[in-house]
Amino acid sequence: MSKFKKKTATKQDIPTAALPDIIFMLLFFFMVTTVLRETEIMVEQKIPRATQLKKLEKKSLVSHLYIGKPKKVDQFGTEPRIQANDAFVTPDDLILWVQQEKDKLSEADRDKIWVSLKVDHEAKMGIVSDVQEKLRESNARKVLYNVIQTAD
Amino acid sequence: MARRKDRGAPEVNAGSMADIAFLLLIFFLVTTTIASDKGIMWTLPPKTDQPPPEVKENQRNIFKIQINSSDKLLVEDEPLDDVRKIKDMVKKHVLNYGKDPKMSESPQKAIVSVKANRGTSYEMYIAVLDELEAAYNEMYAERAGITVDEWKRLDQSNPRMKALYDKARDGFPKQISIAEPSKI
């Protein structure tokens, strides 16, 4: 008989003890990078598509306005409304809102404020132009029309 | 005396730990929305109390786009069905250099004027703005000698890219005027 008897004691399975650690690492990564929305959007938001997008570099300078038909139609009606932070506002309130948003920024950045308009595709230009008029009045003239990249 | 059994080190069964972690992972993957601050950038004109100045420019320099409340286009006083034609029309208008007597004298003098109606849908308005941006981006990219994608990605904090940007923009302003929408 052969002198070299094969050792059969070697284990065949891959150790999976470290698998949970790997998954936890991924989990923590996603937990840390997730930004929870602080405002609940109360208007419908089907954003139109376009091709010529540019990215805003400084996110701290952006304030968001949402325009669209309210989701709770029985409570707020079907007319498109403007949502700033957590509440519906009228165009006249926007001057005060811009001031508040500007106050949140540092002194040097006050005039660099960007207003991002997230407007539902069904909204009419009437309400959008009212908003633009007020933004011009309150000297927040840099506007970002939030759109989605056309998939092509 | 009874011989004690060799039980070995007591172990918690950790086999399903990975499953639990996966479940949480998938939850976070699904709920994560990557906030996008992408869009069409625009600067509104300053607010003045004076009425808008009289148009001194020659009418030929102005490329007029009007949109009515049922989203129909009137471009240079002619009805237009397809928004996507605007891009080439604008490019032709701006890059005319005085050849066609109906179009602009030079890119410096060319103006694109957009007038919407209060009943125009936002979607149509964005479609028109997008076409205008596309037209100018293509013309700038051509002047800079790069592709449109490269042009859009130019980083202005980089001096070399900034020089390229300034070179393309020099003597070639993007003059787009958006009139206040008419009431019905």
Q: Residue B14: list chain A partners with CB under 8 A.
A: 17, 20
| CA-to-CA separations, A149 to A54, A65, B38, B123, B132, in angstroms, rounded | 10, 20, 9, 14, 16
Q: What is the largest CA-CA distance in chain A?
A: 100
CB neighbours of B125 closer than 8 A, spacing ≥ 6? Answer: A125, A128, B67, B116
Of residues A34 and A101, more confidently modeled: A101
Residue A137, pLDDT above cutoff 70: yes
Write down the pLDDT at residue B177.
82
pLDDT tens for residues A4-26? 766 666 767 877 778 878 888 88
pLDDT at B1 (0 to 100) = 52
Q: Measured between CB atoms, does A105 come within 8 Å of chain B?
A: no
Expressed in percent and rounded to 5, the helix, strand and coil fractions of chain A are 35, 20, 40
To the nearest whole Å, the CA of A111 is away from the closest chain B CA by 13
Closest by Cβ to A146, choosing from B39, B121, B130: B39
Spell out which chain B residues touch chain A, with contact meaning CB-CB distance below 8 angstroms. Answer: 14-15, 17-18, 21-22, 24-25, 28-29, 31-33, 35-47, 116-123, 125-127, 129-130, 133-134, 137, 152, 180-181
Higher pLDDT, B15 or A74: A74
Residue A38, pLDDT score: 65
Instruction: List the single residue in B37, B47, B152 with the smallest CB-CB distance to A56.
Output: B37
What pLDDT, on a 0 to 100 scale, did the predictor assign at position A48?
85
B129–A23 CB contact, under 8 Å:
no
Bridge partners of A143, per DSSP, are: A115, B42
The shortest C-alpha distance from B2 to chain A (Å) reads 31
Average pLDDT, rounded, for chain A: 83
What's residue A84's pLDDT?
86
- The Cα–Cα gap between A85 and A108 comes to 23
**Nearest residue of B to residue A51, measured between CA atoms:** B130
Instruction: Write out chain B's pLDDT in tens, 184 residues.
Output: 555 666 677 777 767 777 888 888 888 888 776 666 788 888 888 877 776 666 666 778 888 888 888 888 888 888 888 888 888 888 888 888 878 777 888 888 888 888 888 888 888 888 888 888 888 888 888 888 888 888 877 777 788 888 888 888 887 888 888 877 776 5
pLDDT band at A123 (very low <50, low <70, confident <90, very high): confident
Could you tell me which chain A residue has the CA closest to the CA of B17? A20
B38–A56 C-beta distance less than 8 A: yes
Give the model's pLDDT for residue B2: 54
- Cβ–Cβ contact A139 with B under 8 A: yes
Pick the residue with more confidence: A2 or A19?
A19
Per-residue pLDDT at B175: 83
Residues on chain A touching B31 (C-beta within 8 angstroms): 34
What is the per-residue pLDDT for B3? 58
Residue of B29, B36, B122 to mutate for A, most A C-beta atoms under 10 A = B122
Cβ neighbours around A135 below 10 Å, total = 24
- Shortest distance between the Cα of A2 and any Cα of chain B, in A, equals 35
pLDDT, greater one: A63 or B35:
A63
Centroid of chain to Cα B12: 57
Asked if A93 reaches chain B (Cβ–Cβ under 8 Å), the answer is: no
The pLDDT score that the predictor gives to residue B22 is 83
Higher-confidence position of A40 and A70: A70
Of the residues B34, B41, B73, B83, the best mutation for testing chain A's interface (the one with the most A CB atoms within 10 Å of its CB) is B41
The answer to whether the CB atoms of B38 and A23 lie below 8 A apart is no
Please state the length of chain B: 184
| Contact at CB, A143 and B43, closer than 8 angstroms | yes
Question: Which pLDDT value is given to residue B183?
Answer: 64
Q: Which amino acid appears at position A7 of this protein?
A: K
Residue A2: band (very low, low, confident or very high) from pLDDT cuts 50, 70, 90: low
- pLDDT at B81 (0 to 100): 85
Backbone conformation region of residue B128, classed left if phi is above 0, alpha if psi is from -120 to 50, else beta? alpha
Between strands B62-67 and B73-75, the pairing is: antiparallel
